Amino acid sequence: MKWIHEQPEWPQFHWDDKALSAPLAQLRHQQGHLLGRMSHLGFSLQMETSLNTLTSDAVKSSAIEGEQLDREEVRSSIALQLGMDKGGHLPSSRHINGIVEVLLDATQAYQQPLTEERLCAWHSALFPSGFSGMTPIMVGMWRPPSAGAMQVISGAFGRRRVHFEAPDANRLPDEMAAFLDWFEHDGGLDPVLKAGVAHFWFITLHPFEDGNGRIARAIADMALARADATPQRFYSMSAQIEAERKHYYEQLERQQRGSLDITPWLSWFLACLGRAIASAEAALGAVLHKAKVWERLHLYTVNERQRLIMNRMMGDFEGYMNTSKYATMAKCSTDTALRDIGALVAWGVLVQNPAKGRSTSYRLVTAEELTTADVKEVVEDMAVLREWFQQQECSE
């Protein structure tokens, strides 16, 4: 059996334009719709969304390779390198800073040419210690012949399965020169398709001893940034690939054992990217909801306890809020919690659930309720709140 790179016509990829035209058109429509929605947001919300996306990209791209990164540390590193004042930056390791530097160089400087020097700099940033785990590797250069055959394998010793074997190291200088020339100079190809071809081509060459998957995804992100014509990232291909990791590896192996007709790979790539954009659309709904809630709250004097609770309820909080939970989370008395909740209810950002008495609880207002509700006047008259408190005491 020949690997795809052993085919006589390698690397003359081809595909069925007719089969891909409809999915590509649909995907371009999705991209345009998402970018259009984002363009109507304020700059701060755009940057917040882009920060979240870049964080997911870095974390999930490493997770695909089995490496778990601290999300908050990654987020802090990205915010710091982008000059975003997020306050209380967490210290980040040299390793995480290197991963972030690669991602930001690929997306923020997407218009700059991709060169051998740039790829080698990315590789050096990914492995600043010169080790992959406990194994020393050659950093910032193509894998040398001394490294032996580069294989993707699985299974225990004696029952190992070879999923893929990369081209011989002696071929790499010419192979990579051809790839880089194509990436920068091949005209007329839609940049979304170029992202799919580049991802597959690079990862098949496997030019480095380690880190090829992460760099392949960074190259795809670079091509997608060119497709969007913006350095801001609002959808994460790496996050979607990580969610579909099994199918991702299956598609790669099937194509690397197949012909130079890469229509199946590109069909999967476009579909996966479409699902990534759909996920981003859903996430954008949460961002817009959060923005509307804070737009309402900006009409009032919100204390730090209320700010903390509202951020939690619009974040990873599960279930409903009640006075005891509020008091515990905000580190205050139940009386203070009741007053804070009363104000939030009166301001229209918390809604009391039907149950009364000891089962009294509250939920976050929905986006639809915020859209249809009239903006209330500022609640300064404590008599209004006092009446609400009395009602609660009677029901309990």
Looking at 288, 318, 352, the residue that finishes a domain is: 288
Predicted confidence at residue 393, as pLDDT, reads 58
Q: What is the number of other CB atoms lying within 10 angstroms of the CB of residue 375? A: 11
What is the Cα–Cα distance from 224 to 113, expressed in whole angstroms?
Answer: 14
Predicted confidence at residue 281, as pLDDT, reads 87
Task: Indicate whether 317 and 206 sit together in one domain.
Answer: no
Looking at 230, 260, 288, the residue that finishes a domain is: 288
Predicted confidence at residue 386, as pLDDT, reads 56
Looking at 218, 253, 288, the residue that finishes a domain is: 288
Predicted confidence at residue 152, as pLDDT, reads 82
Domain count, the chain: 2
Residue range(s) defining the domain that contains residue 102: 4-288
Task: Indicate whether 100 and 178 sit together in one domain.
Answer: yes
Structure tokens at 270: 């476009």
Q: Are 210 and 137 in contact (CB under 8 A)?
A: yes
Q: Is residue 331 part of a domain?
A: yes
Q: Is residue 101 part of a domain?
A: yes
The residues, ordered by sequence, that sit 6+ positions from 320 with a Cβ below 8 Å of its Cβ are 353, 361, 362, 363
Predicted confidence at residue 268, as pLDDT, reads 98
Predicted confidence at residue 394, as pLDDT, reads 61
Task: Indicate whether 242 and 125 sit together in one domain.
Answer: yes
Provide Rg for the chain, Cα atoms: 26
Predicted confidence at residue 341, as pLDDT, reads 96
Task: Indicate whether 254 and 340 sit together in one domain.
Answer: no
Task: Indicate whether 225 and 304 sit together in one domain.
Answer: no
The overall pTM is greater than 0.75: yes
- Alpha carbon 213 to its chain centroid, in Å, reads 16
Predicted confidence at residue 162, as pLDDT, reads 86
Which of 75, 52, 107 minimizes the C-alpha distance to 225? Answer: 107
Predicted confidence at residue 228, as pLDDT, reads 94
Residue ranges for the chain with pLDDT beneath 70: 1, 85-89, 156-157, 186, 371-396
**CATH code of residue 145:** 1.10.3290.10
**CATH code of residue 368:** 1.10.10.10
Q: Is residue 294 part of a domain?
A: no
Predicted confidence at residue 11, as pLDDT, reads 96
